[in-house]
Structure 1
Amino acid sequence: MVERTEAPDPRWAEVDGYIADRLLGTDETQAATLAANAAGGLPDIDVSPAQGRMLHLLARMAGARRILEVGTLGGYSTIELARALPAVGRLVSLEIDPHHAAVARGNIARAGIADRVEVLVGPAAETLATLDGPFDFFFIDADKPSNVTYLREALRLARPGATIVVDNVIREGRVLDASSDDSRVVGTRALFNAIAAEPRLTATAVQTVGVKKWDGFVLAIVTG
C-alpha cells in the first residue's frame, strides 16, 4: 500500500471514471468483489478497474495458460487475470493471510472461475519454493521487502518469453530516495537493481496516476 504524501490531483480520479465509463462498462461481479472485501475488513488496496483490465489484456496478449500471482488480497486482480485464461488454463495465487484468502475464495467462486484458480495460504517465499513451473505470466503484488525473492522465484519458474508484472514500484516518487529507511522503498529499489543486473530480463517501468494515486508497474519479459 502507498500512503499519500501529497494531495492528489482530482482529475486523476475523474479520468479513471471516464475510462471506466467509456471502455470498461459495468462489472457486477467485480463490484460484488469489492463490496465483499469491504465487508470483510480488507484494506482498500486492490488495483483499480482500469489497472485490472490492463492485467487482463496483458495476460491475453501473452497467451498465458498458467499464471502465478503473488498477493491475492480479496481476489480482484485474480479474477481479472483468470478471465484471460483459456478453459484449460490455471492460475495459482499466493496469500499469507487466511482471512483474506477465505474472502478471495468466495469472490472467485461467485465469479464462476473456481475451477481454474487455486489460492495457497502461507508465506509466499516458502510456498514458491514448493512450486514447479513453467508459468507464462506473473503478477507480483505482495510485501515489497521480498520483491527480489519473488523475482528470483519467478525467473526459476518462468518459461522463456514469460511476462512478469510487479506493482507499486514508484511509490509517489519515493523510489528516488536512496537514503530512505522505509523497507518498502528499500525493497523496491533492490528490485530495480536486481532487474538491471539480470541478463535474462528485458524490462521497463511505467508510472501511473488515478484513483490509486501516483504509482506504477514494472513490466518485464524473460528472454532466456
Structure 2
Amino acid sequence: MSILHTEAVDRILKLTAPESDAVREEMEARADRERFPTVGPEVGAFLRLCVRMRGVSSAIEFGSGFGYSAYWMAPAIGSDGRIVLTEFDADELEQARDYFERGGLEDRATFEHGDALEIVERYDGPFDLVLLDHETSRYVEGFEAVRGKLSENAVVIADNVLHTGAVRPDDLVDALEGESRVSESERSTSKHPSLEGAVAYLEHVRSDPDFETAVVPLGDGLVVSVRL
C-alpha cells in the first residue's frame, strides 16, 4: 500500500482499477515476489489515462526495468504510436521485450539498451509524453535532455518524488522549507541523493515558465508537468 493515502483509499483504487491481463498479472506477481520497484497498478492506470487524455502517439521512458510502466501505456498509444523503453540492465530489457511480445504489443515499442540520457540524444522527437523513472538525482538532467524534443502540450511525469528509499514525505517537507532531518554525517556519505534530487527537480520544474506543474499523490508520488 502507498503511504500517501489510507488503507480504504488503497482498496478503492484496487476495486476500481482497469481489468488486467495474464501478462501484466505475471509482471505484478514477479514484482511482489522479487520486491522489484514498479509503479504499481494505481500509477499504471493513471499513466494510461494521461496517454488517452493527451492523445499520445510518441512517448519515451527513462528507466524501464522489465517494462511494467510501458506495458500499461502501450495499449492506449495505439498501433500507429510508439513508446521508447530505455534500460541500462540488458537482461531486464530483454525481459521487457518478451512481455511485450507475449502481450501482442511489440509493434508499439522500441527497446534501447544503455543510459537514457545518452539514448534520448539520438532521437529528434517530438515526444508527447515522457516518464522519468531513472535515478531521482538525475531527473533535472533528464528533463533538460528531453525538453527540446517535446511536442506542444507535452506531458512530463516524474515518479518516486514524495517517497523513495529512505526518503519520506516529512523529509521532503523539511527540505523544501529549508530544514532537513538528514544529519551532516549522512549527507556527507551521500545516503540521500534521492532527497536532494527530488527537491532540485521540484524547484526546477515549478520555476520554469514554460510548464505548469502539479504533484499527484499516487504510488510513491508523481510530479506532472504540462508544457504550456
Alpha carbons 1:66, 1:90 under 8 Å: kept: yes
For residues 137-172 of structure 1, what are the alpha-carbon distances to aligned partners after superposition, in whole Å with 9 as ceiling and x for unaligned?
111111111000111122111012101111111122
User: Displacement of 1:48 after TM fit?
Assistant: 1.4
Equivalent position to 1:53, from 37, 45, 55: 45
User: 2:84: which partner in 1?
Assistant: 92
TM-score under structure 2 normalisation? Answer: 0.83
User: 2:147: which partner in 1?
Assistant: 155
User: 2:22: which partner in 1?
Assistant: 28
Q: How far, CA to CA, are the matches of 2:134 and 2:89 in structure 1?
A: 11
Identity %: 26
Q: Secondary structure at the match of 2:122?
A: coil
**Aligned runs of 1:1-224 on 2, under 5 Å?**
11-12=6-7, 15-35=9-29, 43-171=35-163, 172-173=168-169, 174-178=171-175, 179=180, 180=182, 181=187, 182-208=192-218, 212=219, 215-223=220-228
For residues 7-61 of structure 1, what are the alpha-carbon distances to aligned partners after superposition, in whole Å with 9 as ceiling and x for unaligned?
959953x54344323442343220122345578x5x5211111210110011110
Counterpart of 2:59 in structure 1: which amino acid? Answer: I
Q: How far, CA to CA, are the matches of 1:147 and 1:121 in structure 2?
A: 19
How many residues are paired up? 210
Q: How far, CA to CA, are the matches of 2:226 and 2:200 in structure 1?
A: 18
Counterpart of 1:147 in structure 2: which amino acid? Answer: Y
Q: Note closer, same or farther for the CA distance 1:119–1:36 as it changes in structure 2 (3 Å cut).
A: farther
Q: How far, CA to CA, are the matches of 1:132 and 1:28 in structure 2?
A: 35
Give the unaligned 5+ runs of structure 1.
none
For residues 53-82 of structure 1, what are the alpha-carbon distances to aligned partners after superposition, in whole Å with 9 as ceiling and x for unaligned?
110011110000101111111111111111
Alpha carbons 2:31, 2:38 under 8 Å: kept: no
Give the unaligned 5+ runs of structure 2.
none
Q: How far, CA to CA, are the matches of 1:10 and 1:162 in structure 2?
A: 28
TM-score under structure 1 normalisation? Answer: 0.85
Q: How far, CA to CA, are the matches of 1:90 and 1:146 in structure 2?
A: 24
Counterpart of 1:176 in structure 2: which amino acid? Answer: V
Q: How far, CA to CA, are the matches of 1:201 and 1:170 in structure 2?
A: 20
Counterpart of 2:52 in structure 1: which amino acid? Answer: R
Q: How far, CA to CA, are the matches of 1:146 and 1:158 in structure 2?
A: 18
Q: How far, CA to CA, are the matches of 1:23 and 1:36 in structure 2?
A: 19
Q: How far, CA to CA, are the matches of 1:72 and 1:154 in structure 2?
A: 16
